[in-house]
Amino acid sequence: MSGHDNGAPVAQPTHFEFTPENLERAKKIIAKYPPGRQASAVLPLLHLAQAQHDNWLPRAAMDYVARMLDMAPIRVYEVATFYTMFNLKPVGKYLLQACTTTPCWLRGSDEVVAACERKLGIRMGETTPDGMFTLTEVECLGACVNAPVLWVNDDFYEDLDGPSTERILDALRRGEKPPIGPQIDRQTSAPVGGKTTLLNVKREA
């Protein structure tokens, strides 16, 4: 599917079905919508399928979800190709999604991307030969206050520069999970260098 890129054809599994636990979850999700409106559950079900299947969506999974929701398969393909959050081919154990939209770019996303490419020896859109990392570019992740941002699987690493990006990649390769959030001395999205307002408010006991 051209939605994400025009790479080599992907070896598609012929079969997909939810694990019993995921099937239960799927039923609960579908039950949230009124009868005849099951199609509304397509996004959560695709996410569930992707999570179950090494973080990518094979065609068999989309067909399975289509059958489950009584949708024409083409409508599920349209949804799956529309959202960049769905991976339509295998990805590395760590999916690195670098934000390069204006605020991140102004704050140095070029360095983050360059660090990834240098450290991993791959280009944007590629996967390392050992299957550990896939690097992709995303549009705004809505975390501009902590720009630049790198999204790794389910977590955001924020306030990055070249060296901090490399440290994170090294730790991931070692099997560690570096602390998520800002990579500089900063509490979440609070001002850099500490609080600047409400300094005289005492915390209640």
**Any contact of residue 3 with another protein (CB under 8 A)?**
yes
Taking the complex as a whole, the smallest distance from the CB of residue 74 to another protein amounts, in Å, to: 4
Place of tokens 């094979």: 58
**Any contact of residue 44 with another protein (CB under 8 A)?**
no
Residue from 62, 65, 95, 122 in contact with another protein (CB under 8 A): 62
Residue (of 165, 158, 152) closest to 119 by Cα position: 165
| Interface stretch with another protein, choices 69-77, 122-130, 151-159, 181-189 (CB under 8 A) | 69-77
**Any contact of residue 14 with another protein (CB under 8 A)?**
no
**Any contact of residue 81 with another protein (CB under 8 A)?**
yes
Residue from 16, 46, 49, 59 in contact with another protein (CB under 8 A): 59
CA atoms within 13 A on the CB side of 113: 18
Closer residue to another protein, CB minimum distance, 101 or 146: 101
**Any contact of residue 74 with another protein (CB under 8 A)?**
yes
Burial (CB count within 10 angstroms: exposed 0-12, middle 13-18, buried 19+), residue 105: middle
- All residues at 6 or more sequence positions from 50 whose CB lies less than 8 Å from its CB, including other chains: 56, 57, 61, 86, 87
Q: Are 132 and 80 in contact (CB under 8 A)?
A: no
Taking the complex as a whole, the smallest distance from the CB of residue 35 to another protein amounts, in Å, to: 12
Instruction: Write the DSSP assignment of 160-191 as a string of letters.
Output: --HHHHHHHHHHHHTT--PPPEESSS--TTSP
* Contacting positions for another protein (CB under 8 A): 1-4, 59, 62, 70, 72-75, 77-78, 81-82
